[in-house]
Amino acid sequence: MRTIKLGTSTLEVPVVAVGCMRINSLDKAQAERFVRTALEEGANFFEHADIYGAGKCEEIFAEAIQMSPSVREKVILQSKCGIRPDKGMFDFSKEHILNSVDGILKRLKTDYLDVLLLHRPDTLVEPEEVAEAFNRLESSGKVRHFGVSNQNPMQIQLLQKFVKQPIVANQLQLSITNATMISQGFNVNMENAAAVNRDGSVLDFCRLHDITIQPWSPFQYGFFEGVFLGNEKFPELNKKIDEVAAKYEVSNTTIAIAWLLRHPANMQPVIGTMNVDRLRDCVKAADIRLTREEWYDIFRSAGNILP
């Protein structure tokens, strides 16, 4: 599969990341087949979080891939920490980060993570503590690269004031129907709802600072309200996507991912499907480059208005 550099690092990663949030919905044989298919397709970047399945997803993945030193060399592992559903809070304290990583490594049966992300912002964050945690994790070899999720430019800059490691990735919700970070850029200085800057121009900030955006929920509309593909709520969008899909002789799934990959920000969408056929469809997007006209047609067909 086509690869990109993750942020300012030298780490070469596939342009499609395999999200493992739902791997606990598979039985042992299904999980093994899913992971094997991903590797066969060149999708060897696996994305986790310590809260997925309360840790079970990481354990199931390690078993499905039959983790060993030789297997570990062939995969890139990313996980996230910082959400504490048991307490109803976020926690970026040094103690919690270090303990979380130890748990992640144990469940994944590995000695190190390629990438660790802080999972959503913690308003009580003390960046000095994060810096201490990152330094210890890096010096011990437990984590090689660091990033964040759902953070705006000022939050990242505050963190980077103290953290010496570069922030290589920012995981953000983005799809054709959830594209406010794109639409507000079209509507600068306009008196309409689309002109509201909801994220501090995070798209441009990440491009300026070579931070890889990892779009999550690339098929969702709203906040986990459902997928837009084949949804009667989006007739014009599906009509246009189907037209483009027919031209390239691929599925609508492929085109939805290709739309994200067409953006020059060099994004790395995180797919969440556990269906091997849809996984293959997502991977095919790496070989498709939509035309400028196709990209804009799809954008407008979702109800996004150009000024």
Domain extent, residue 111, equals: 3-301
Residue 306 lies in a domain: no
Q: For 267-283, write each residue's pLDDT tens digit.
A: 999 999 999 999 999 99
Q: What is the DSSP letter of 305?
A: P
Residue 214 pLDDT greater than 90, yes or no: yes
Confidence of residue 157 (pLDDT cuts 50, 70, 90): very high
Rg (CA), the chain: 19
Q: For 41-93, write each residue's pLDDT tens digit.
A: 999 999 999 999 999 999 999 999 999 999 999 999 999 999 999 999 999 99
- Provide the pLDDT for residue 72: 98
Residue 131 pLDDT greater than 90, yes or no: yes
User: What would the mean pLDDT of 232-248 be, rounded to a whole number?
Assistant: 98
User: What would the mean pLDDT of 139-151 be, rounded to a whole number?
Assistant: 98
- Provide the pLDDT for residue 38: 98
What separation, in Å, do the N-terminal and C-terminal C-alpha atoms of the chain show?
Answer: 37
Count Cβ atoms within 10 A of the Cβ of residue 93 and give its class: 0-12 exposed, 13-18 middle, 19 or more buried: middle
Q: Which single residue is written with the structure tokens 């047609």?
A: 297
CATH number of the domain enclosing 20: 3.20.20.100
Q: For 21-36, write each residue's pLDDT tens digit.
A: 999 999 999 999 999 9
- Provide the pLDDT for residue 223: 83
Helix (H, G, I), strand (E, B) or coil at 229: coil
Confidence of residue 225 (pLDDT cuts 50, 70, 90): confident
Report the distance separating Cα 5 and Cα 204, nearest Å: 18
Residue 224 pLDDT greater than 90, yes or no: no
- Provide the pLDDT for residue 236: 98
H or E element at residue 168: strand 167-173
Q: What angle do CA 228, 232, 236 make, to 5 degrees?
A: 75
Q: For 88-123, write each residue's pLDDT tens digit.
A: 999 999 999 999 999 999 999 999 999 999 999 999
| Domain count across the chain | 1
Provide the total of helices (H) and of strands (E) in the chain, helices listed first. 12, 14
Tokens (6 digits) for 92: 């970026």
- Provide the pLDDT for residue 140: 98
Residue 46 lies in a domain: yes
Residue 16 lies in a domain: yes
Tokens (6 digits) for 151: 């953070």
Residue 307 lies in a domain: no
Tokens (6 digits) for 228: 């837009």
Mean of pLDDT over the chain: 97
Tokens (6 digits) for 105: 């490594």
Instruction: Give the relative orientation of helices 153-162 and 127-139 as an angle to the nearest 10 degrees.
Output: 60
Residue 226 lies in a domain: yes
Q: What is the DSSP letter of 306?
A: P
Q: For 164-194, write each residue's pLDDT tens digit.
A: 999 999 999 999 999 999 999 999 999 999 9
